[in-house]
Amino acid sequence: MRRRTLVRTTIAASSLALIATVAPAAAAGPVSAAPAGAVSATASADDDDDDRKRSYKRIGYFTQWGIYGRDFQVKDLDTSGQAAKLTHINYAFGNVSPAGKCFVGGPAGEGDSWADYGRPSTAAESVDGVGDTWDQKLAGNFNELRELKAKHPGLKVMISLGGWSWSTHFSDAVLTAEKRKAFVSSCIDLYIKGNLPVEGSRGGDGSAAGVFDGVDLDWEWPGSAGEADTPYRPEDKKNFTALVREFRTQLDAYAKSQEKDKAKRKHYDLSAFVATDPKKIDAGFEVRKIMRDFDFVNLQGYDFHVSGEKTTNQQSALYAKNDYSVDQTVNDWLKRGAPAHKLVMGLPFYGQGWTGVTGGGDGLNQPAARPAPATHQAGYEDYKAIKKLVESGTYKVHRDRKNGHAWVFDGNTLWTYDDPTVLRAKTEYIREEGLGGAMIWSLDGDTADGELMSAVDRGLKRR
């Protein structure tokens, strides 16, 4: 790729460190990363012009459940400064029913309509400073996202369908053309048209109209294994392509029906979260075909190794020999026909961690007893919590300057994560390789003042 050596030189000159967040796990196993090409370390004037003209996507996931234990509200996107630096918010997640339809509500663990549009916000919790009333048709996260968009014109909100736990019924839902049409129609009706089920005074036809600006497909994974209860079939690959085409067709048709003047017609974005493992790419994605209909795809740039493994390792390295890495992921999508400007690099705002680490040294690539204790779930921790560990002085920061990753170790417990310096190297890589931007999982892992989001924003601007 162009100017790969420039990126490596920058990494070597920088002090690197890593962050953390939690997202769907990738399968572990070695793959061969493409080597860096020899290129000039001096960018041309034309390259400078390209950077100034480019508008990079800055996509952040907001988790439905984060409003509870993490107490991360939609308003925090505003007060942290994150919202002003984002182009898209992906709302995680929308579920797919056994009947193959988009739905909200349902039994515990299968939906949370209270968080989505039922829960009233006080004046202190509300983006606009006005508390919700009992009789308004839209409350909860959806209403706060609507208020956030009003405060930040141009900010888009996408509904992300699936995720690691809610991809269970995707394969069944797309088996036939009839099922795909009904599935897509149900999603557009619920989220784009905003026709929510009536629950007490909430919901009704059009109650959430205007909240969502597109659809993000987080099927993990078409054609290969995901969570234990998620079925997959060889025909998922062609059915996924057909699903993407059906979404593009129906979204465009709805936009046309709402505005006859093509120049004024709203465009609904269509994206997906896609795999890093080459075997999963080949099993589930007809890359050239799907990229025609997607506005962009978000590459898995983390969970290359996870705390369930018995040996400590990197989880989000920019480069790695004979292993998963950001560079390997980008190259694997490019060589299968994806255009660079539609590839958005995934970044973690969390870390993977191990405890009971033996073998001495800096702790990396050493045996470990189990996932490390953490605030919400063993084995992963928010960046803001890892930062406090470093500031306590009990953990030493270690960096692989050549390969662009870092970790902290106290002699027993190790966390691998991204910090602002690592993100500086990664955002420079995005600019140098002509990628589409950066995606974050997830925004609640950042500090209260949005330290990591600010680092991503600065890095995607010409310095």
Extract the runs of DSSP E, i.e. beta strands, from 259-413: 269-274, 296-299, 343-348, 350-355, 370-371, 380-382, 396-400, 405-409
220 flagged as catalytic: yes
Distance separating alpha carbons of residues 178 and 159, to the nearest angstrom: 23
Cα–Cα nearest to 447, from 387, 376, 368: 387
Q: Are strands 350-355 and 414-417 parallel, antiparallel or unpaired?
A: antiparallel
Per the CB < 8 A criterion, the answer to whether 291 and 297 are in contact is yes
Distance separating alpha carbons of residues 26 and 33, to the nearest angstrom: 16
For 254, residues 6+ apart whose C-beta sits below 8 A from its C-beta are 188, 192, 193, 268
Per the CB < 8 A criterion, the answer to whether 422 and 18 are in contact is yes
Per the CB < 8 A criterion, the answer to whether 40 and 430 are in contact is no
What 8-state DSSP symbol labels residue 188?
Answer: I
What sign does the dihedral 427-430-436-441 (CA atoms) show?
A: negative
Q: Which two tokens stand for residue 397?
A: 């920061």
Distance separating alpha carbons of residues 456 and 447, to the nearest angstrom: 13
Instruction: Go through 9-23 and write b for each residue having 16 or more CB atoms within 10 A of its CB, e for each that does not.
Output: ebbeebebbbbbbbb
Q: Which two tokens stand for residue 154?
A: 């141009």
What 8-state DSSP symbol labels residue 418?
Answer: B
Distance separating alpha carbons of residues 97 and 167, to the nearest angstrom: 10
Per the CB < 8 A criterion, the answer to whether 453 and 441 are in contact is no
Which residue among the candidates 144, 147, 220, 451 is catalytic per the annotation? 220
Per the CB < 8 A criterion, the answer to whether 351 and 372 are in contact is no
**Residues recognised as catalytic:** 220
